[in-house]
Structure 1
Amino acid sequence: MSTTPDVSPSRPFEPFALGVCSWSLQVKNVPELKGFLDQLGVDVVQIACGDPHHASWDEGDDLPAAAKAAGFRMTGAMLGFPGEDYTTPQTIQQTGGFGDPATRPERLERLAWALDRTRALGLTDLMLHAGFLPEVDDPARSALLDVLARAGDMAAAQGVTLAFETGQETATLLRRTLDDLKSPNIKINFDPANMLLYDMGDPIEAVKILGPDIRSVHLKDARRPKVKGAWGEEVPLGEGEVDVRAFVQALKGVGYRGPLVLEREVGDQQGRLRDVAHGLAFLRECLAD
């Protein structure tokens, strides 16, 4: 079963096309993004909607027209919510996604805006963090699933697939949640490093559990936390505990043939650019193997 995203037939993605997350390059406008992509030798990007968390754009409301005219290929858009706090695992558990009941109404409004932006960009995929998913026996689970189901319905009405990012829960819990939601418009944006940063299991085994619903992939690397309840450490691709070669083979094994989009969220702009270039070279070696 192929899980490659739908794209325009005139601009198809070859299997495992390599790309970069726009926010990883800390760009402020489309020409700067295009220049860095040219420098890196790729033309595939997952683009930030323009929200405060994942980067604003100098183009403002003109971003969709500017991005579509730039000549690069976009795999999807990424939404972050104002107020999400990644200082510690505990702060993001309190503030991430749709986890806090008090922020759900305004975040559903923000989702509606992002769905419009996604369509304006000519895209059919929107990635975001759902928030920490409650365990099956948690009384708070039902209300959160109701909100996620509503989000899925909003996306379906726009012809958009929502891809929830992995890492803040085990693959087993995420699998159970997707099965409970039964929403054809809710899939997964798989990030193996997040599972290590949050210490939530083995990313290779997680691919096997979640395989049919993997819609897109962020690739970064990390080491597990040394102290329980603390962050793990994000490191350049190939220098951490993600077995990248085994990860790519696992993706092939579940039928994924979509793009591999590198993400780097540590360091200044030049350091990130250097690490992304290193990651792309390393990933090309893994794919050649």
Structure 2
Amino acid sequence: MPIEPLAIGVCSWSLQVHSIPELKGFMDRLGISVVQIACGDPHHAAWDEGDSMPQAALAAGFQMSGAMLGFPGEDYTTPATIQQTGGFGDPATRPERIERLKWALARTKALGLSDLMLHAGFIPEVGAPERHAFLDTLATVARLASDAGVTIAFETGQESSALLRRTLDDLKAPNLKVNFDPANMLLYDKDDPLKAVELLAPDIRSVHLKDANRPTTPGEWGSEVPLGQGQTNTRAFVKALQKIGYTGPLCIEREVGDQNQRFADIAHGIAFLKECLASN
């Protein structure tokens, strides 16, 4: 059964769950049926079901919009540490991360899905000496995903939208797309989300809905806040998505607070998004 356009969903790791029944229980309480689901890596929730997670997820009765992959060793302590350790940025970790990608592609297919989301890492600027090797790695990612019948959606935030646009244009891989997270652009202090929507419009494949404020001190993180309470301008962002013809789900992500606080903030976000959609 296809997912309805602009259906409100949740990112599984935001709920800090460890089993499919636990995830299903939270989703039932929230009154939603759509989830972007973690593959089962250290950063996006390990599953008690282990290798049988895909079968359990398929039997659970919810709708999955795509899978999410993080890599062991990624360190989000500061923007500087994730720049050093994120995605495919470090040449020393690329071979093992390509192997992890192969595992995630197989899990994505086992889940009956065609979309896998991940952070590419900090993309080198045009003209930087390390850019050629980095783009070669992303081309390998695209080839492996294409062979598996999977679309890769790179999550926004660790680069400007102009650099991401240029990179996608340079790669010319039809199965490389964008997982648009407007709050990340503020947390990393990289871009204006509303202007970025227009620039990346042709390739926006999926969306994370969260809110944030820009950092007040350069080099530090911005602050993540509940939907509608930050500088993302979620109401205008949803309207911008509708204007460009985006019809995918709106998956709420919440990455701070304990499980009870996250659940409350996600419930608030669902109500807020319903209000945004009704008023647009």
TM-score (norm 1): 0.96
Shift of 1:253: 1.6
Aligned to 2:46: 56
Matched, 1:246 2:236: yes
1:24-173 mapped onto 2 (5 Å cutoff): 24-173=14-163
In angstroms, what is the RMSD of aligned CA positions?
0.4
Aligned residue type for 1:254: I
Aligned to 1:272: 262
Shift of 1:72: 0.1
Shift of 1:14: 1.1
Aligned to 2:172: 182
Q: Distance in 2 between matches of 1:33 and 1:192?
A: 25
Shift of 1:13: 1.2
TM-score (norm 2): 0.99
Q: Distance in 2 between matches of 1:187 and 1:176?
A: 13
Aligned residue pair count: 279
Q: Distance in 1 between matches of 2:259 and 2:58?
A: 24
Secondary structure at 1:200 match in 2: coil
Unaligned runs of 5+ in 1: 1-10
Q: Distance in 2 between matches of 1:239 and 1:251?
A: 19
Matched, 1:21 2:37: no
Identity %, equivalent residues: 72
Q: Distance in 2 between matches of 1:25 and 1:214?
A: 24
Aligned to 1:217: 207
Secondary structure at 1:187 match in 2: strand
Q: Structure 1 segments of 4 or more deviating over 4 A?
A: none
2:228–2:235 contact (8 Å) kept in structure 1: no
Matched, 1:205 2:195: yes
Write out per-residue CA displacement over residues 21-79 of structure 1, whole angstroms, 9 at most, x where no aligned residue: 00000000000000000000001000000011111000000000000000000000000
Aligned residue type for 1:228: P
Matched, 1:263 2:264: no
Q: Distance in 1 between matches of 2:47 and 2:21?
A: 11
Aligned residue type for 2:201: G
Secondary structure at 1:240 match in 2: coil
Aligned residue type for 1:227: T
Shift of 1:259: 0.2
Write out per-residue CA displacement over residues 82-115 of structure 1, whole angstroms, 9 at most, x where no aligned residue: 0000000000000000000000000000000000
Q: Distance in 2 between matches of 1:149 and 1:253?
A: 31
Shift of 1:255: 1.5
